[in-house]
Amino acid sequence: MTSTSPAYGELRAQLNTLTTEAFRPELADIDRLPTLEIARIMNGEDRTVPGAVAGQLPRIAAAIDATAERMARGGRLIYAGAGTAGRLGVLDASECPPTFNTDPSEVLGLIAGGPSAMVEAVEGAEDSEELADTDLDALALSADDTVVGISASGRTPYAVGAVRHARALGALTVGLSCNADSALAAAAEHGIEVVVGPELLSGSTRLKAGTAQKLVLNMISTVTMIRLGKTYGNLMVDVRASNDKLRARSRRIVSFATGATDEEIETALAATDGEVKNAILTILTGVDAPTATRLLAESGGHLRAALRSAG
């Protein structure tokens, strides 16, 4: 696309309407300021982000409840975005297996251009709705799946295309952007628009917009997992102990939940193959490991429900 093409002119016109792309003349001399002053300005900008997220909490909560309902039936949570937005989705998805013991297929991140786009730009990938269609079709979407399109501008064709295609296939759709009245929110069943205002550096939406998206994705995955019984109170009882730090954390979690001695904790974890939730159930109720496994299966993995059943 050349700088004189009609499409280029149309795109420039679109960008001129976006809050995230606005130029801030009051910061035109920021490069002449002392480093500490620049850092203070940037920190002040970042402090505005949680307030912008707070304004969207009812919409975020509604999207989470709808997502959790579908995941409880076996559905998946799928993020789709380009550039920074896509990378944030991949990051959030990749944290779910070690944190909540999810299968890697349960929470997925799609980035325009594929895995190589995590570290380098893939020319034209974000401009293709068809690429989003292809990526989603490879996953064989069902009505129990949730697709979250992520785009700071709210106009990225890959993200908008992913939401449109997913909705046409009957999946739940969420559109997360940082501009009001976005095409992405309009295309989704649940539109979330966290308007953080113009960036410190004009057009660098990896800053406040990226921070806002990260906060919302943290909420979507974390609160969904809480709703699915992946926690007991505020304890990560589905943690996967895949290294020494996580093994130590598992023992601390069992201790917080039960108050048991180190010897009791080691015995319970050994009997339950290191499953924290199962170990807690055996300690608090006195049931054996196979019974704990059965009770948790019958309760859909919810430890509180299993404790009630055992009592």
Q: What is the pLDDT of residue 203?
A: 77
Asked if pLDDT for residue 65 goes beyond 70, the answer is yes
CA atoms 104, 109, 113, 117: torsion sign: negative
- For residues 187 and 159, the answer to whether their CB atoms sit within 8 Å is no
The residue whose two tokens read 């969420």 is: 174
Catalytic-residue membership of 21: no
For residue 126, indicate whether it is catalytic.
yes
pLDDT of residue 47: 95
Other CB atoms within a 10 A radius of the CB of residue 25 amount to 6
User: Closest by alpha carbon to 150, among 110, 181, 204, 103?
Assistant: 110
Q: Give the pLDDT of residue 15.
A: 59
pLDDT at 86 over 90: yes
Is the pLDDT confidence value at 24 over 80? no
Positions of E strands within 19-62: none
Candidates 3.30.460.80, 3.40.50.460, 3.40.50.280, 1.10.8.1080; CATH matching 244-310? 1.10.8.1080
Task: List the strands of the sheet with 107-111, edge to edge.
Answer: 107-111, 77-81, 146-150, 172-177, 190-193
State mean pLDDT over 166-184.
97
Average the pLDDT over 146-170 and give the result: 96
Question: Tens digit of pLDDT for each residue in 277-301?
Answer: 999 999 999 999 999 999 999 999 9
Q: Is 3.40.50.10490 the CATH classification of the domain at 49-227?
A: yes
Cα angle, residue 271 at apex, residues 225 and 234 outer, rounded to 5° = 25
Residue, of 223 and 11, whose pLDDT is higher: 223
pLDDT at 157: 94
Give the pLDDT mean for 56-78.
98
CB 228 within 8 A of CB 146: no
In the chain, domain spans: 49-227, 244-310
Q: What percent of the chain has pLDDT over 70?
A: 92
pLDDT in tens, 46-61: 999 999 999 999 999 9
Active-site position among 21, 45, 106, 126: 126
Q: For residue 14, what pLDDT band results from cuts at 50, 70 and 90? A: low
The pLDDT score that the predictor gives to residue 23 is 66
- Among residues 69, 95, 189, 264, which one is catalytic? 95
Query: Residue 17 — pLDDT band, cuts 50, 70, 90?
Result: low
pTM of the full predicted structure?
0.89
pLDDT per residue over 102-124, tens digit each?
999 999 999 999 998 888 877 67
* Calpha distance 290→28 (Å, rounded): 66
Phi, psi of 72 (to 5 degrees): -65, -20
- How far does the chain reach from its first CA to its final CA, in angstroms? 68
Q: Which residues, 6+ apart, have CB-to-CB distance to 139 below 8 Å?
A: 76, 78, 108, 145
Closest to 169 (Cα-Cα) out of 128, 131, 129, 137: 137
Which candidate, 292, 287, 263, 261, places its Cα nearest to that of 275?
292
Mean predicted lDDT score pLDDT of the chain = 91
Helix, strand or coil, per DSSP, at residue 178: coil
